[in-house]
Amino acid sequence: MTERIEITETSVPALPRGVKLRFDKQRDQWVLLAPERLFVLDSIALEIVKRCKGEANIDEIADDLATSFSAPKDVVMKDVIALLQDLTDKRILTA
Amino acid sequence: MTSQPSGSEPSGTPPGFPLAILAELTHRCPLQCPYCSNPVALEAASAELDTDTWLRAIEEVAELGALQIHFSGGEPTSRKDLETLIRKANEVGLYSNLITAGVLVGEDRLSSLADAGLDHVQLSFQDSEAAGCDRIGGFKGGFEKKLEFAKSVNALDLPLTANMVVHRQNLANLETMLELAVELTARRVEIAHVQYYGWAYVNRAALMPTRAQLERATEIVEEARERLKGILVIDYVVPDYYAKRPKSCMGGWGQQFLNISPAGKVLPCHAAESITSLSFDRFPDKSLREIWETSDAFLAYRGTDWMPEPCRSCDRREIDWGGCRCQAFAITGAADNVDPACALSPEHELLQALAQEDSHAGSDDFLYRTRRTGLELQDA
């Protein structure tokens, strides 16, 4: 039986089979393609989702983003967890 | 599906691009569901497009800008070339979805479909237990086969959606349907009230739920959404005979979606052929781009210019796009009338009275979906 996944600093997020990150050239945007769904990613969401490869954990992803975009890590961390918890609850992310 | 900003171009202007294509590969199906979304006049196997024509259609629709392809039918796995078509969809970057009854395919075939690049499986259940499932689908032993099939989907780690079409005769089992979806570790379930076109229109009196049933169903779904958050995503489609505002049918006529019938008719929605005042172009007689951009059928109700009042000046005109043309045609006799599901339609009360009457019709007998019955209905 499936249980709800809670995203924490130590979670290692990944896109499961059946969820694909793709550039949509006709509409000039990045999208996540999922069962019967299409999520248009803004530039921040894209940077987060790109890092969900089943390798880095949330803490490392937040570190990386904070450095790359010169932003305070605690703020970044909050955004990352909020987005990824939402995607997890929609069953298009695993951790 | 997320709606695509499509603006308010006048109906003569082609909007951007279709988002998804429904590829109805065949009307052959081992099941006989009395609410099937196929037209009553089912196309013969001998009329089906061949493999090469489908391959061209897949290439063209990807070039047009579509992102998703739904392989459907009938039962799409009755086509032996399904692997070839999935492989092509994958090659041109289309997300592929198999819409299946799951009774023809064993683990070997499913594995070969997965190897070809299949992204997602949507499996239908007619009820949450064998007796109801097999009776409604008109296929003995179907329920057990579906359970086996779901196991195979899970074994291959493919995402599974369970599709449950609900109506008066199975709504009492809604809670166990949701339990079944959880047991099968489906990521999504669609609880879809019957939409009354084609076969479902013919079987309306045997299917229409009572208003009390509908209200209970909505409560059950809302409670389950909370309880199953993060476990099961529940999509819920309500029956618009009891609605106050129309649905945004297909996200707007000819704006996001196209459908190719087994014999190559290109339609703005799978029920569009029920609008007998329209005629439809065929692929490959014309390219998909030409049909999408210039065919009469796609232009007829695209955008907002075709709209009558009160739709035309309604502040929801680009939210619901005037609702459903097939329903307007079926109930009022003209496809450019206001969708009677809307409380502002002069025929709204009539629609509600029909629903009320049908829900208490008393007979639970189905007219099953078979090619022969379809031909008889056409002659009648």
- Beta bridge mates, A40: A31
pLDDT in tens, A42-84: 999 999 999 999 999 999 999 999 999 999 999 999 999 999 9
Could you tell me if B118 and B100 are in contact, meaning their C-beta atoms sit under 8 angstroms apart?
no
Q: How many contacts, defined by CB atoms under 8 Å, are there between A and B?
A: 79
Phi, psi of A47, rounded to the nearest 5 degrees? -60, -35
Q: Are strands B188-193 and B160-166 parallel, antiparallel or unpaired?
A: parallel
Residues of A in contact with B183 (CB under 8 A): 1
Specify the residue for token string 């988002």.
B19
Interface of A with B in 37-76 (CB under 8 A): 37-40
B65 interface with A at CB cutoff 8 Å: yes
Give the orientation angle of helix A58-68 with respect to helix A43-50, to 10 degrees.
130
ipTM of predicted complex: 0.94
Could you tell me if B152 and B184 are in contact, meaning their C-beta atoms sit under 8 angstroms apart?
no
Asked if residue B310 has a cis previous peptide bond (ω within 30° of 0), the answer is yes
Q: Do B4 and A27 touch (CB under 8 A)?
A: yes
Is residue A22 pLDDT above 70, yes or no? Answer: yes
Closest CA to B240 of B339, B162, B136: B339
CA distance to partner chain A, nearest, from residue B264 (Å):
23
Q: Which residues of B254-287 are buried (b: 16+ CB within 10 A; e: fewer)?
A: bbbbbbbbbbbbbbbbbbbbbbeebebbebeeeb
Q: Do A35 and B68 touch (CB under 8 A)?
A: no
Tell me if residue B318 falls in helix, strand or coil. Answer: coil
Angle (nearest 5°) at CA B353 between B348 and B354: 100
Across the interface, of A4, A17, A27, the residue whose CB is closest to B231 is A4
> What pTM did the predictor assign?
0.94
Amino acid at B224: A
The separation between the first and the last C-alpha atoms of chain A, rounded to the nearest angstrom, is: 16
pLDDT mean for each 10 residues of chain B (380 residues): 35 67 97 96 96 98 96 97 98 97 96 98 98 98 98 97 98 98 97 94 96 96 97 92 91 95 97 94 97 96 95 95 94 95 95 94 92 90
CA distance to partner chain B, nearest, from residue A29 (Å):
12
pLDDT at B378: 85
